[in-house]
Amino acid sequence: MHHFNIRALEYLNGLSKYGSLRKAAKMLNVDPAAMSRMLGQLEAQVEMKVWERNNRQSYLTEAGNELLNHYRNIIRSEAAVLSQLTKLKNLTGGSVSIAIGEGFITNLVSKPMETFMTRYPDINLSIEIAGALDAVKLLEDQQIDFAITYAAAPHPKLHTHVERSHPLELIVPKGHLLTLKDEPTTLQDLQALPLALIDNSTGMGRLVHHAEQVSHVSLSPKLQTNSVSALKNFVSAGLGVTFMPKLTVLEEVESGEIEIVPTDLEILSKARVKVQSLKGRALSPQASTLLDFLVENTHFLRSDASGLVR
Protein backbone atom coordinates (compact mmCIF):
# COMPACT_ATOMS: atom_id res chain seq x y z
CA MET A 1 0.00 0.00 0.00
CA HIS A 2 1.41 3.40 -1.02
CA HIS A 3 1.62 6.15 1.59
CA PHE A 4 2.16 9.60 0.18
CA ASN A 5 4.53 11.95 1.93
CA ILE A 6 2.25 14.47 3.63
CA ARG A 7 4.90 17.20 3.31
CA ALA A 8 5.06 16.65 -0.47
CA LEU A 9 1.26 16.96 -0.62
CA GLU A 10 1.49 20.14 1.43
CA TYR A 11 3.98 21.55 -1.09
CA LEU A 12 1.63 20.56 -3.92
CA ASN A 13 -1.17 22.45 -2.19
CA GLY A 14 1.10 25.48 -1.82
CA LEU A 15 2.01 25.30 -5.49
CA SER A 16 -1.68 25.31 -6.43
CA LYS A 17 -2.45 28.13 -4.03
CA TYR A 18 0.38 30.52 -4.91
CA GLY A 19 0.86 29.74 -8.60
CA SER A 20 4.65 29.41 -8.71
CA LEU A 21 7.32 27.29 -7.06
CA ARG A 22 9.35 30.24 -5.85
CA LYS A 23 6.40 32.06 -4.32
CA ALA A 24 5.05 28.88 -2.70
CA ALA A 25 8.49 28.12 -1.24
CA LYS A 26 8.72 31.66 0.17
CA MET A 27 5.25 31.48 1.75
CA LEU A 28 5.93 28.04 3.21
CA ASN A 29 9.38 29.12 4.38
CA VAL A 30 11.23 26.31 2.62
CA ASP A 31 14.12 26.19 0.15
CA PRO A 32 12.80 26.12 -3.47
CA ALA A 33 15.31 23.38 -4.39
CA ALA A 34 14.14 21.21 -1.45
CA MET A 35 10.54 21.76 -2.47
CA SER A 36 11.32 20.82 -6.08
CA ARG A 37 13.12 17.63 -4.95
CA MET A 38 10.15 16.61 -2.78
CA LEU A 39 7.74 17.11 -5.66
CA GLY A 40 10.07 15.11 -7.89
CA GLN A 41 9.98 12.22 -5.40
CA LEU A 42 6.17 12.40 -5.43
CA GLU A 43 6.20 12.16 -9.24
CA ALA A 44 8.55 9.19 -9.08
CA GLN A 45 6.18 7.48 -6.66
CA VAL A 46 3.08 7.92 -8.84
CA GLU A 47 5.07 7.64 -12.09
CA MET A 48 3.33 10.72 -13.53
CA LYS A 49 3.95 14.43 -13.74
CA VAL A 50 2.06 16.26 -10.99
CA TRP A 51 2.92 19.82 -12.01
CA GLU A 52 4.12 21.82 -14.99
CA ARG A 53 5.84 25.19 -15.41
CA ASN A 54 4.58 27.59 -18.06
CA ASN A 55 6.76 30.70 -18.30
CA ARG A 56 6.78 32.01 -14.73
CA GLN A 57 3.54 30.28 -13.73
CA SER A 58 3.12 26.75 -12.36
CA TYR A 59 0.01 24.61 -12.57
CA LEU A 60 -1.04 21.12 -11.51
CA THR A 61 -1.61 18.28 -13.95
CA GLU A 62 -4.67 16.05 -13.75
CA ALA A 63 -2.67 13.66 -11.56
CA GLY A 64 -1.59 16.58 -9.40
CA ASN A 65 -5.19 17.66 -8.91
CA GLU A 66 -6.15 14.13 -7.84
CA LEU A 67 -3.39 14.21 -5.22
CA LEU A 68 -4.46 17.69 -4.16
CA ASN A 69 -8.04 16.47 -3.57
CA HIS A 70 -6.62 13.57 -1.55
CA TYR A 71 -4.60 16.00 0.59
CA ARG A 72 -7.59 18.23 1.23
CA ASN A 73 -9.68 15.21 2.24
CA ILE A 74 -6.97 14.30 4.74
CA ILE A 75 -7.02 17.81 6.20
CA ARG A 76 -10.82 17.78 6.46
CA SER A 77 -10.77 14.38 8.15
CA GLU A 78 -8.14 15.50 10.63
CA ALA A 79 -10.16 18.62 11.44
CA ALA A 80 -13.26 16.49 12.07
CA VAL A 81 -11.32 14.12 14.33
CA LEU A 82 -9.79 17.03 16.25
CA SER A 83 -13.26 18.51 16.70
CA GLN A 84 -14.52 15.23 18.13
CA LEU A 85 -11.49 14.88 20.40
CA THR A 86 -12.01 18.42 21.70
CA LYS A 87 -15.64 17.58 22.31
CA LEU A 88 -14.68 14.45 24.23
CA LYS A 89 -12.08 16.37 26.22
CA ASN A 90 -14.77 18.80 27.32
CA LEU A 91 -16.98 15.93 28.49
CA THR A 92 -14.93 15.23 31.61
CA GLY A 93 -17.63 16.84 33.74
CA GLY A 94 -20.60 19.14 33.63
CA SER A 95 -24.33 18.57 33.66
CA VAL A 96 -27.34 18.48 31.35
CA SER A 97 -30.92 19.40 32.24
CA ILE A 98 -33.82 18.30 30.06
CA ALA A 99 -37.60 18.18 30.23
CA ILE A 100 -39.67 15.34 28.80
CA GLY A 101 -43.31 14.34 28.72
CA GLU A 102 -44.30 11.55 31.07
CA GLY A 103 -45.11 9.30 28.13
CA PHE A 104 -41.44 9.19 27.13
CA ILE A 105 -40.03 8.27 30.51
CA THR A 106 -40.32 4.48 30.25
CA ASN A 107 -38.52 4.47 26.91
CA LEU A 108 -35.89 6.92 28.11
CA VAL A 109 -34.93 5.95 31.66
CA SER A 110 -34.22 2.34 30.86
CA LYS A 111 -31.57 0.96 28.56
CA PRO A 112 -30.72 4.24 26.72
CA MET A 113 -30.13 6.24 29.88
CA GLU A 114 -28.24 3.39 31.54
CA THR A 115 -25.93 3.15 28.53
CA PHE A 116 -25.36 6.93 28.42
CA MET A 117 -24.50 7.15 32.11
CA THR A 118 -22.10 4.24 31.78
CA ARG A 119 -20.41 5.79 28.75
CA TYR A 120 -20.21 9.29 30.27
CA PRO A 121 -19.99 8.75 34.03
CA ASP A 122 -18.84 12.32 34.77
CA ILE A 123 -21.90 13.99 33.22
CA ASN A 124 -24.72 14.63 35.68
CA LEU A 125 -28.29 14.55 34.38
CA SER A 126 -31.41 16.36 35.53
CA ILE A 127 -34.73 15.21 34.05
CA GLU A 128 -37.94 17.16 34.60
CA ILE A 129 -41.31 15.58 33.82
CA ALA A 130 -43.29 18.31 32.09
CA GLY A 131 -46.19 18.78 29.71
CA ALA A 132 -45.75 20.80 26.56
CA LEU A 133 -46.67 24.16 28.14
CA ASP A 134 -44.45 23.65 31.20
CA ALA A 135 -41.56 22.48 29.03
CA VAL A 136 -41.74 25.66 26.94
CA LYS A 137 -41.73 27.77 30.12
CA LEU A 138 -38.64 25.93 31.38
CA LEU A 139 -36.89 26.62 28.08
CA GLU A 140 -37.82 30.30 28.12
CA ASP A 141 -36.54 30.62 31.70
CA GLN A 142 -33.31 28.82 30.67
CA GLN A 143 -33.85 26.21 33.35
CA ILE A 144 -33.15 23.34 30.94
CA ASP A 145 -30.92 22.68 27.93
CA PHE A 146 -33.56 21.08 25.72
CA ALA A 147 -37.02 19.54 25.88
CA ILE A 148 -38.62 16.51 24.26
CA THR A 149 -42.21 17.52 23.62
CA TYR A 150 -45.29 15.94 22.12
CA ALA A 151 -47.78 17.86 19.96
CA ALA A 152 -46.39 21.17 21.16
CA ALA A 153 -47.80 24.33 19.60
CA PRO A 154 -45.45 26.29 17.29
CA HIS A 155 -43.31 28.78 19.20
CA PRO A 156 -41.20 31.57 17.63
CA LYS A 157 -38.51 31.43 20.33
CA LEU A 158 -37.77 27.72 19.98
CA HIS A 159 -35.41 25.88 17.65
CA THR A 160 -36.36 22.32 16.62
CA HIS A 161 -33.41 19.92 16.41
CA VAL A 162 -35.36 16.71 15.66
CA GLU A 163 -38.94 16.10 14.56
CA ARG A 164 -40.73 12.76 14.18
CA SER A 165 -44.32 11.88 13.24
CA HIS A 166 -46.21 10.11 16.06
CA PRO A 167 -49.99 10.40 15.56
CA LEU A 168 -52.29 10.54 18.56
CA GLU A 169 -54.17 7.24 18.51
CA LEU A 170 -57.45 6.05 20.01
CA ILE A 171 -56.54 3.11 22.23
CA VAL A 172 -59.02 0.58 23.61
CA PRO A 173 -58.94 -2.63 25.68
CA LYS A 174 -58.49 -5.91 23.80
CA GLY A 175 -61.72 -6.99 22.12
CA HIS A 176 -63.50 -3.67 22.70
CA LEU A 177 -66.68 -3.12 20.66
CA LEU A 178 -64.96 -0.32 18.70
CA THR A 179 -62.58 -2.90 17.21
CA LEU A 180 -65.56 -4.50 15.45
CA LYS A 181 -66.50 -1.32 13.53
CA ASP A 182 -65.94 -1.27 9.77
CA GLU A 183 -65.77 2.53 9.62
CA PRO A 184 -63.34 4.83 11.42
CA THR A 185 -64.48 5.92 14.87
CA THR A 186 -65.77 9.49 15.31
CA LEU A 187 -65.86 11.71 18.36
CA GLN A 188 -69.63 11.27 18.38
CA ASP A 189 -69.09 7.53 18.85
CA LEU A 190 -67.11 8.27 22.02
CA GLN A 191 -69.79 10.37 23.70
CA ALA A 192 -71.61 7.27 24.94
CA LEU A 193 -68.47 5.43 26.09
CA PRO A 194 -66.37 5.60 29.29
CA LEU A 195 -63.49 7.89 28.35
CA ALA A 196 -60.30 9.11 30.03
CA LEU A 197 -58.66 12.37 28.97
CA ILE A 198 -55.47 14.13 29.97
CA ASP A 199 -55.57 17.83 30.83
CA ASN A 200 -54.88 20.62 28.36
CA SER A 201 -51.46 21.55 29.74
CA THR A 202 -50.12 18.61 27.72
CA GLY A 203 -49.76 18.33 23.97
CA MET A 204 -52.14 15.35 23.95
CA GLY A 205 -54.82 17.26 25.84
CA ARG A 206 -54.46 20.32 23.63
CA LEU A 207 -54.78 18.19 20.49
CA VAL A 208 -57.95 16.40 21.69
CA HIS A 209 -59.47 19.75 22.68
CA HIS A 210 -58.71 21.06 19.19
CA ALA A 211 -60.35 17.97 17.68
CA GLU A 212 -63.47 18.67 19.77
CA GLN A 213 -63.62 22.22 18.44
CA VAL A 214 -63.17 21.13 14.82
CA SER A 215 -65.82 18.39 15.17
CA HIS A 216 -68.20 20.57 17.21
CA VAL A 217 -68.36 17.82 19.83
CA SER A 218 -67.92 18.13 23.58
CA LEU A 219 -66.55 15.05 25.35
CA SER A 220 -67.38 14.25 28.99
CA PRO A 221 -64.57 12.09 30.36
CA LYS A 222 -65.17 9.51 33.06
CA LEU A 223 -61.59 10.22 34.18
CA GLN A 224 -59.74 13.53 33.85
CA THR A 225 -56.07 13.36 34.80
CA ASN A 226 -52.62 14.86 34.28
CA SER A 227 -51.01 11.40 34.37
CA VAL A 228 -50.12 9.35 31.30
CA SER A 229 -49.80 6.26 33.52
CA ALA A 230 -53.36 6.76 34.77
CA LEU A 231 -54.61 6.86 31.16
CA LYS A 232 -52.79 3.66 30.29
CA ASN A 233 -54.01 1.85 33.41
CA PHE A 234 -57.59 2.99 32.73
CA VAL A 235 -57.52 1.21 29.37
CA SER A 236 -55.49 -1.80 30.52
CA ALA A 237 -58.00 -2.43 33.29
CA GLY A 238 -60.83 -2.48 30.74
CA LEU A 239 -62.48 0.61 32.20
CA GLY A 240 -62.73 2.53 28.94
CA VAL A 241 -60.86 4.19 26.09
CA THR A 242 -58.46 7.12 25.69
CA PHE A 243 -56.09 8.88 23.30
CA MET A 244 -52.37 8.14 23.40
CA PRO A 245 -49.52 7.87 20.87
CA LYS A 246 -48.39 4.37 20.02
CA LEU A 247 -44.93 5.05 21.51
CA THR A 248 -46.42 5.16 25.04
CA VAL A 249 -48.24 1.81 24.76
CA LEU A 250 -45.98 -0.08 22.37
CA GLU A 251 -45.41 -3.00 24.74
CA GLU A 252 -49.12 -3.36 25.49
CA VAL A 253 -50.05 -3.16 21.79
CA GLU A 254 -47.51 -5.82 20.84
CA SER A 255 -48.69 -8.11 23.65
CA GLY A 256 -52.31 -7.69 22.55
CA GLU A 257 -53.41 -6.14 25.84
CA ILE A 258 -54.37 -2.87 24.13
CA GLU A 259 -55.60 -2.24 20.57
CA ILE A 260 -55.44 0.84 18.35
CA VAL A 261 -58.67 1.82 16.61
CA PRO A 262 -58.72 4.02 13.46
CA THR A 263 -60.51 7.38 13.71
CA ASP A 264 -61.69 9.95 11.20
CA LEU A 265 -59.79 12.73 13.00
CA GLU A 266 -57.13 13.97 10.58
CA ILE A 267 -55.86 16.51 13.10
CA LEU A 268 -54.64 13.70 15.38
CA SER A 269 -52.41 12.34 12.60
CA LYS A 270 -50.40 15.57 12.58
CA ALA A 271 -48.97 15.11 16.09
CA ARG A 272 -45.18 15.16 16.25
CA VAL A 273 -42.43 14.51 18.77
CA LYS A 274 -39.92 17.36 18.82
CA VAL A 275 -36.59 18.02 20.49
CA GLN A 276 -36.44 21.76 21.07
CA SER A 277 -34.15 24.33 22.63
CA LEU A 278 -34.19 28.10 23.01
CA LYS A 279 -33.15 29.99 19.86
CA GLY A 280 -29.87 31.82 20.26
CA ARG A 281 -28.74 29.64 23.16
CA ALA A 282 -26.15 27.15 21.92
CA LEU A 283 -26.19 23.68 23.40
CA SER A 284 -23.20 22.79 25.57
CA PRO A 285 -20.96 19.91 24.39
CA GLN A 286 -22.57 17.77 27.10
CA ALA A 287 -26.11 18.61 25.95
CA SER A 288 -25.20 18.05 22.28
CA THR A 289 -23.69 14.68 23.15
CA LEU A 290 -26.84 13.62 25.03
CA LEU A 291 -29.07 14.80 22.20
CA ASP A 292 -27.07 12.89 19.56
CA PHE A 293 -27.09 9.81 21.78
CA LEU A 294 -30.87 9.91 22.30
CA VAL A 295 -31.55 10.30 18.57
CA GLU A 296 -29.49 7.17 17.90
CA ASN A 297 -30.73 5.08 20.83
CA THR A 298 -34.41 5.89 21.49
CA HIS A 299 -36.85 4.41 19.01
CA PHE A 300 -39.31 7.32 19.16
CA LEU A 301 -36.59 9.79 18.07
CA ARG A 302 -34.89 7.43 15.67
CA SER A 303 -38.00 6.85 13.54
CA ASP A 304 -41.60 7.85 12.96
CA ALA A 305 -44.45 5.85 14.48
CA SER A 306 -44.61 3.63 11.38
CA GLY A 307 -41.13 2.35 12.16
CA LEU A 308 -41.64 1.62 15.86
CA VAL A 309 -40.50 -1.81 17.04
CA ARG A 310 -39.34 -2.91 20.47
Q: What average pLDDT does the segment 148-169 reach?
A: 92
Which of the residue ranges 84-93, 115-124, 215-224, 295-304 has the most confident prediction, judged by mean pLDDT? Answer: 215-224
Spatial CA neighbour of 255 closest among 171, 174, 168, 167 = 174
Q: Sketch out the chain's domains with CATH numbers.
A: 6-89 (1.10.10.10), 93-164+272-307 (3.40.190.10), 168-270 (3.40.190.10)
Q: Are 278 and 137 in contact (CB under 8 A)?
A: no
pLDDT digits (tens, 9 = 90+) for 253-279: 989 999 999 999 999 999 999 999 999
Mean pLDDT, the chain, rounded, equals 89
Q: Report residue 133: phi and psi, to 5°.
A: -65, -45
Query: In angstroms, what CA-CA distances link 197 with 190, 220, 226, 244, 271?
Result: 12, 9, 8, 9, 16
Return the pLDDT at 2. Answer: 65
Kindly give the pairing relationship between strand 272-278 and strand 158-165.
Answer: antiparallel
pLDDT surpasses 90 at 201: no
Nearest to 265 by CA among 229, 210, 211: 211
The whole-number pLDDT of residue 1 equals 47
Whether residue 91 is predicted with pLDDT greater than 80 in this model: the reply is no
